[in-house]
Structure 1
Amino acid sequence: MQRILIVDDDESMRGLLRARLSDSYEIIDYRQSRTSFRAGLEHKPEAIFLDLMMPKFSGFELCQSLRSVSYTSRIPIFVISGEAGITHKKHCEDLGATAYFEKPVDFIKLKGNGCRNSHQERGTQSACPCPHADHPENPRN
């Protein structure tokens, strides 16, 4: 089972992401972005789901740090934020984020985008673990 790292200081959001994604992925979640940087190195996730507005070390800083290390530079980073607007989205793209999702999250779109981009950025051709039937890379199609 593929592993996903979730970084969000909001326990309810981490719980929601765990509940919606744990059927397809092994979930590792962290509340603090500083400790999650090490987790990105230790746990070797297939993707990282990241909040932007966190105390001490923001999601912007974590995204930039993860992109600056060769080992984590190819891991897809999906920003999930309550911050609407093109400014934050553009800044995340400039830092190397794979995609930007505004809260409330469309989980079907998130799962499909996460799976597709994970394979593209990693250069793998393996079957997609996404559970929804209409996803083009779903092995059941």
Structure 2
Amino acid sequence: MVSLTLALLGVGKNKMPRNPMRQWKRVMQRRLAWHFRGRKRNCYRLSLCPVKKSLRFSTTVRPIRRRNINNLFMNRIAAGCAQHGLQYSSFMRALYESNIMLNKKMLAQLSIYEPRSFQSLCEFAKKRHTELLQKGLAVAVEPTPSGIITRDMIKKSL
């Protein structure tokens, strides 16, 4: 382990660096600055501010990026469902209730690159939805949980 550490620091076999923490700090700084261009990539002192700024930016933008990607997946799935005459919410509900565990990313990929597979999923969801309608267990007809008062209950009592 010691020889590996010395090799990573770029020090000879028998020599120890004067300040190993300083060397590790510089190595880490270069790793964080690998994607920059020009001298900001190669010079330690010039890379300090841009690396700090990029780390701050990545942490503030992370939830926004995640939300945008999630919306993109939802739009792609909804477009695929619309081609087959199905709504996004009923499609997702049918898959969830049938224990088909495909995440939104995979469903979006299927809707774009595998249209026949996605069409079979849409047909399955339609069939499941019609079965629920025939049984009388559709979303609008489902009984409400106990302790919740809806407008229909108030209208019936009047």
More strand by share: 1
TM-score in same-fold range (> 0.5):
no
Structure with larger RCO (C-alpha < 8 A, sep 6+): 1
TM-score, length basis structure 1: 0.31
